[in-house]
Amino acid sequence: MKTLGFWKGFRNKSFPSIFDENLTKRTTRVDDRIMNYLKNGIWLTKLRTIFFCPITEATIDTTVYTDGEWLWSSEYIFYLGKYDIEIPEAFIKYLVKKNFKIPTEKELEEELLDTLEDLATEYTSQNSDSFI
């Protein structure tokens, strides 16, 4: 499973800090097609924990989405819209190849969705000592 933007703030100590990502290095323009794709992903899980942005202290929803090949969080969407974090070139090429069309749940097998939900829970269940 390919992932986007899972940092320590996503509750897993093994992830890098968001500050390890250069917040001003984006070379690709984020257009509405990319944001719409991410916002309309297939919902996998929602955490009951409230997350605060370590930069602005804004409250951020914690929902994990997928399209069957990539896994991302509403926190990633927040940071992508607010800061100049880089978008992986492989993800952009993937979106272009798919013509920015998100699959429906019916298009993904139920077994795959169950596996992805378990993976999303695993990614977000390990508490971190630090959110940054």
pTM of the model: 0.73
The encoded tokens of residue 44 equal 């996998």
The answer to whether 6 and 74 are in contact (CB under 8 A) is no
Domain count, the chain: 1
Residue 72 covered by a domain: yes
The answer to whether 8 and 121 are in contact (CB under 8 A) is no
Residue 131 covered by a domain: no
Residue 126 covered by a domain: no
Domain residues for 41? 2-121
- What helix, strand, coil percent values describe the chain, rounded to 5? 40, 15, 45
CA distance 42 to 117: 10
What is the per-residue pLDDT across 91-121, written as a single tens digit (0 to 9) for each? 999 999 999 999 888 887 776 777 777 777 7
How confident is the model over 65-93, as a mean pLDDT? 86
- How many other C-beta atoms lie within 10 A of the C-beta of residue 16? 10
